Every structure is written in structure tokens, then in C-alpha cells.
Chain A
Amino acid sequence: MSAALAPRRSPARRVATLHALLPVAALVLLLAAVFLKQPRAMSYFGINLLLNLAIPVMFATLAQMMVLAVSDLDLSIGPFVSLVACIGATLMPEQPALAVLALAAAVGVYALAGALIEARQLPSIVVTLGLSFVWLGCAVLLLPTPGGTAPEWLRDAMRWRTPLLPLPIWMAIVTAIAGHLLITRSAFGTLVRGLGGNPGAIARAGWNMVRVRAGVYAIAGLFGVCAGLMLVGQATSADANIASRYTLVAIAAAILGGAEFTGGKVSPVGAVIGALTVTLAASFLTFLNIAPDWQVGMQGLILVAVLGLRAAIDLVGGRR
């Protein structure tokens, strides 16, 4: 039976495999280029330095990916990570209980936003755009000028010299596996992807749509909290705009990692690799002595190149 089926399955499968390999190839290519330019980076410390900044980006990307999975877009993740960082640098060291409460409340607001989007059928872009100003406002109230101090334990954790591989690599492996189990393997993840693919089918099957979407946003919020705490642990202090660029970086990384705006098609492993690639691209451009003014544009070009390749794979695979 499988022999007869093989011709039908293979082209679509091959396209899917190539799609999955694309972010990996982009990362390997960038790494090779970096090592060629800076052979000294090819060490425990070099890699640690190179990819350290990718840790918070990974979590922000996973948060964005959750929202992308249900065909929504989160424009508030950057300011949210900033707010978490500010909470980490101000409340956390002195009043840990209050800090935890504040973070829980913030995640609650995220879940509420998801419930609101579903219940009132609002466009997620509008709701999260509004929310982004709320986060920014809260962050400025907490920390009007850059400063604060991250708690000792958080700073120590981010400086941890992990055995065998540097911390960013371990982090990438752990988050990729956790994300894969959550989104690709678990029943809840299946439901989430189903909601992105065909909301009508989920509603007809009798699921509580409001609860599912609220859950998705709550998980996104949790990932955001992780991102913010790790960011402040690395930076040791915070400011209200510390992560504002994360919004777009996270979208770029998630898309780079194989997510699609049509919803229901996301890959957590790809998202983590995408986050590494985006961060590495910035470092690479610094090594090339390209002025910071040009770096953003060059990052964009790298993104366009990868997405262009993806479209080319589709074209050759005969999907469109």
C-alpha cells in the first residue's frame, strides 16, 4: 500500500522538509561566516558572548509564535518584556512577593486580552497595539530613568557556566524541546493549531473558544515573563525601552523559523533557531565593521533572502 501512496505524498513532504531545513541552513551558514571572520569566537566563551543576547529573544519569539499559531499578531511583546525587566530591576530585589504578584497580574491581563479578542471578535493587532502603550506606561511609572538592579540570584543564573556547552546552547535545546512538546505534540497544542487553521471546526466540535484563546495568550505572557527576567539578569539593570525592538525581532524570528501569517503553521524548533539566526546576524554585521545605521537594513536583507528562498522552494515544489 505504501508503495502506491509514495508518489502522492513525496512532493508535499519534500517541500515540508526543505522548509524545516531552511532556518537550520541559514544558521549554519551565518555561524560559518562568523567563525571564518573571527576564529576566536569558536570557543566556549566566544559562543557564550555571541549568543547570550539570543536567550531573551528566544522566549519573546516563542511568545509571538503562540499568538501567530492562532492567526493573531502580538504587537505588545516588546514593551511587555521591557515592563517585566523593569519589575525585575525594581520590585524583585526588595519585595519579591509583590514582584511575583505584579508579574502574575500582567500575565492575567494578557489572558484577558485573548479572551476579549475572541469574545468580541476584535482584531488582535488593535488590541495588542493598545496594550503595548499600557505596558510602556507601567514601565515608565516603575522606572522613569534607566537604572535599578536585578536580584543577585538572577544575575548569577545568567552567568552560570554550564558544563559541556555554553548556557545559550543549553537554553536553546531546552526551550526548543519544551516548545515542541507543548505545540506540536500535546493535545492542547493541536487544539491551538487547529484554532489557527479553521476556527469554525473547533467551535463546532464544542470547545470553549474564549478559554482556548485566553490560554494561548496566557502562555505567550509566561514566555514574555521568562524573556524579561532573563534580559534583566543579563543586563543587570533595566529601562522602560530596553526591549522595544523585540516586537518586530520576534515576528521576524518566528517567520524565519517557519511560521506563517495564515495561522496554524508554526514550528517551535524553527522559532528558536530563527531567534539565534536573527541575533547572530546582528553580531556578524558588527564583525564586518558595518555601521550600526546600516545594520537594521542588512538584517532585513538577510530576512528577505531567507523568505525568498522559502518562496522558491514552494515554487519548485509546485505548491503555488
Chain B
Amino acid sequence: MQDPLQASRGEVLVEARGAARAFGAVQALRGVDLQLRRGECVGLVGHNGAGKSTLVNVLCGALAPDRGTLHFAGRAADGAAWSLREARRWGLRCVFQELSLCDNLTLAENMRIAQPQSAEWAWRQRAGAQLMDSLDRIFPGHGLRPDDVVGELPIGKRQLVEVARAFTPGAQSLELMILDEPTSSLDGQAAAQLLAYIRCFVGEGRTCVLITHKLREIFAVTDRLVVMRDGRVVQATPTAETDRERLVTAMGQAVGKDAASEPGAPSTRPAAASGGASAVVQVPGSARHGMAMHAARGEVIGLAGLAGHGQTAMLLALQAAAQHGGKGAARVEGETAFVAGDRQTDGVFTLWSIARNMTVGWLAQLRARSPLLDLKREQAQAQQWRERLGLVTPDMDLPIGSLSGGNQQKVLFARALGSAAPVILMDDPMRGVDVGTKRDVYALIREEARQGRTFVWYTTEFDELHHCDRVYVFCNGRVVGELAGDDISEERVVALSFEDASA
């Protein structure tokens, strides 16, 4: 097995040309060209929403590209010919960011369900032995047993199983391994073991794609680096010919700087003292949570950094602090209103009308005069917001599902802004929203801030940070930096969000 693989070293294994994919109005991939050769480890880097995940999903057959071609080991792998199943059959494996183990099954059983082909009577012993074999090879001293139930293991151990399972050859060949943040929950030792194994893996003539935000790992293992931004590959160089600064610059170059110079930029905010005295939101600094945070009346505060590094948790902590004093040290004066980013799971009530979806956030005001809701006022206010936001709908009583994603998001904004809450928390609300809606909402936020409302705005989009007065950058659940005014730039944010680069 070793020899043919070694002989074909350097041959092109995967080739994507002009791969493009859009989700509604959002162009996630805008024509990506990518070549992966046998026997190399390629690092795929880029900020949130750069298109890495979409590219991986296209490669592994979970998503069909809108345009472009894909070749795997010389064969065309397009359209109907390429699916998750086919990709697996040709030897492509993925370890995804979210775990794909079944919590209720044992390790051996999880091994079995990952191998649709094998079927024999003594499968339990065999699957267990195979998995243990991989675990021993990659993570010596792992301390796991084949009859351990996954749900009873700590998250770090589960990740070991996930990785080891993917690296177990089984009945299918293994040509290309795609690892998406494989070390995110591994401890230092296990991460080092994995990286060492990856070198050994590609040394055998196989191919590995490594996606990680930890630059140290990228430079330690990869042969080549592919940098993505805005759905394009912007840089592809051998790892030896680049360095951290150049990588960070490539990831974070501003495309639409003009957003910053729009009228109504930060200087027009009311004379809110930026000190702690008049702050309506205050979070003291601590070793665990990093620097202190505060927000004054009328300020727009951005929470930046890579996705999932504690920004949403901070918003929820502020919400809890406003509702019942909270257990943490955070302090919020007055009520808060929340604008959800993930519309379908924690935003809209899919069975309700547009008007109801909007007014559900104002119930306290609507029943101010009597215990029953004031329906006339509800209607009138909903109409007002419809005009103010320019909602494109013939009737506010239509179901919310009749609106486009952007217009649904407008409704969620109206729900929060129509309430009396002085502090508005926004959880990356512009996900999958078209440009026109964004411009409307930015203006609205600016106007509301001028009237004294405070916004705490988690965003994964760089352009939006230019609409903020100050920005706190998160990394690993901690606030690692504060940027204000002209200091807010993508380079600075990227530098702060990558732990290694900021050191």
C-alpha cells in the first residue's frame, strides 16, 4: 500500500475550478480555484464567513456548487455524481467542528456506524479493536475503552475519539482528510500528538487539509497555505515563504473601506462621557473574562473576534443581568431587548403573522392601560414601524414566512427597537442579510443611538465595526482588546483575535 502512494506523490488529487455557491443573497463562494496534491498538508485560513466551511462542504459533497467544476483523483465529481456517500467511497473524510458522534452509543458502536460497508457477526470486537488501534497510534496514553459511552466522556476525550475514528481506514480507502478545527477542545499534549500524526499521515503520501485559527499549528504542520477572504482564495503560498504578519494582512485586508466614511459616522453621537461614571452597562475585568467593558448612554459598542469566542455568552450575561440582577458581576441599568441573529432558531415565530412577530416584544406597553392588549395601538404601532423600516409586504397580517430573510430581520429589529428598553443587544443580526437592508438598519441604529439608546453589537462582519463607537475584541472567551474611533481596523481586529499573532 505504501509504494503506490509514495509513487504518486505530488500528483493532483483534488482540483476545484471556479467553484461558486450562494445562500440567498449572500455569495459564500465567488469562484474558488483550489488544487490539492498527494502527500501535502494544506492549511486553509481566513476570518469568519470567508467561505472556508462552504468550500469544505462543497469538497466533501454536502453542498453542490452553483457553478464550477470539481475533480477528484482525475475523475469528474460534479452534480449528481458527488455526494457525501460518493466522497467517502473515494476516500475523503472530514472531521467537522461540531462533533458527529452519537452520545448514547459506545466507542465501538460509534466506530460501527461510521462504516456502512462492513457487516459481519463479530463486528463489536472488530470495530472496538480498530478504533483502539487508531487511538493508540495517534494519542498514546488516551485512557479510553471500547465500551465507554461517549456521552459520559468529557468533551476533550470525545474529540480524540472523533479524530481517531476518522483516521481509521476500515473498508474504504483514505486519501484526503479534512480537519476543521480539530484541536479546538484538545489539551496541549493531545494537540501536539495529533499534529505529529498529521505529518506522519502526509508522509505516507496522503493529503490533509487543516482548518484552524491557531496560527502556531498552521506554521508547525502545513506545507502550503491557502488564505480565503470574501469567498475567494486571496493567497496560496508555500508555508515556508510566508510569515504571520503577511498571513494576517492577507486575511484582513479591507475591501469596502468606504463604509467607514459614510455620513453620520461616530462623531455625531451625543456628548456621552466615555468614562465609567455614566455607563449604563458595566462589566468589571477579571482574569477569566479579560478586560473590563462599559457602555455609555447613546454608544454603539461592537463585540468582535472570531465566531464563538464568547461574544454571545457576553450578550446573554448582560441580558440576565438586566432581567434578574444576574449572578455575575455584570451590571446593566434599565431593561434590555435582544435581536437574535439566528432567525430560524431563536428569532421568528414561524406560524405567526408579521405584525404579531413584531409586537410580541412590546406587550408591556400594549397592556399598560388595561390587563388586555390594546389591539388598536398594536396595529397602529406596527404600521408605523412598517413605514419606518420600509417593509416590503402587502399586508402585516401575512405569515412571517412570506418575507425575505432581510425583511424578517427588519421585523426582529422593530421588535427590539419598538420596546422601551434603553439597551439593545444584537447577536450578529446581519447574518445572511442583503446590502439594502443592512444600509437601512445601520441608519436606524445610528438614529436610535443619537436619541440615547445604547447598542451592544456582536458582529462577524468587519464592515459593521466601522459603525461602532468602540469595539471590544474577544478571544477564547476573554476580552483581549479595546479599539476606538480610527483605531478600529480589520488588521487590528485580526491581530487581536488570533492569539498567537497578538502575542
List residues of A whose CB falls within 8 A of some B CB: 1, 4-5, 9, 12, 185, 187, 190-191, 193-194, 196-198, 200-207, 264-265
Contact = CB atoms under 8 A, between A and B. Distances in A.
B105 A193 contact: yes
B152 A12 contact: yes
Contacts of A1: 143
22 contacts: A1-B143, A5-B143, A9-B148, A187-B123, A190-B105, A191-B112, A193-B105, A194-B105, A194-B110, A194-B113, A197-B104, A197-B105, A198-B100, A198-B101, A200-B100, A201-B100, A202-B102, A204-B100, A206-B85, A206-B116, A264-B104, A264-B105
A190 B102 CA distance: 10
Nearest to B111: A190
B113 A202 contact: yes
Contacts of A203: 84
B104 A4 contact: no
Interface in B310-339: none
B103 A207 contact: no
Nearest to B94: A204
A197 B110 CA distance: 11
Given A4-B143, A203-B84, A198 B102 contact: yes
B100 A197 contact: no
Nearest to B108: A190
Given A190-B109, A198-B101, A198-B102, 18 more contacts: A9-B152, A12-B149, A185-B124, A187-B112, A187-B119, A190-B105, A190-B112, A190-B113, A194-B105, A194-B110, A197-B102, A197-B105, A198-B103, A201-B110, A204-B62, A204-B84, A204-B94, A264-B104
Given A190-B112, A191-B113, A206-B116, A265 B104 contact: yes
- Interface majority SS on A: helix, strand, loop or mixed? helix
B88 interface: yes
Contacts of A5: 143, 145
B113 A205 contact: yes
Contacts of B149: 12
A187 B115 CA distance: 11
Interface in B88-106: 88-89, 94, 96, 100-105
A205 B88 CA distance: 8
B174 interface: no
B114 interface: yes
Contacts of B88: 205-206
A206 B62 CA distance: 11
Contacts of A204: 62, 84, 94, 96, 100
Nearest to A200: B100
Nearest to A2: B145
A5 B119 CA distance: 31
B348 to A, nearest CB: 19
Contacts of A193: 102, 104-105, 109
Contacts of A198: 100-103
Q: Lowest 3 A-B CB distances belong to which pairs? A: A264-B104, A197-B102, A197-B104
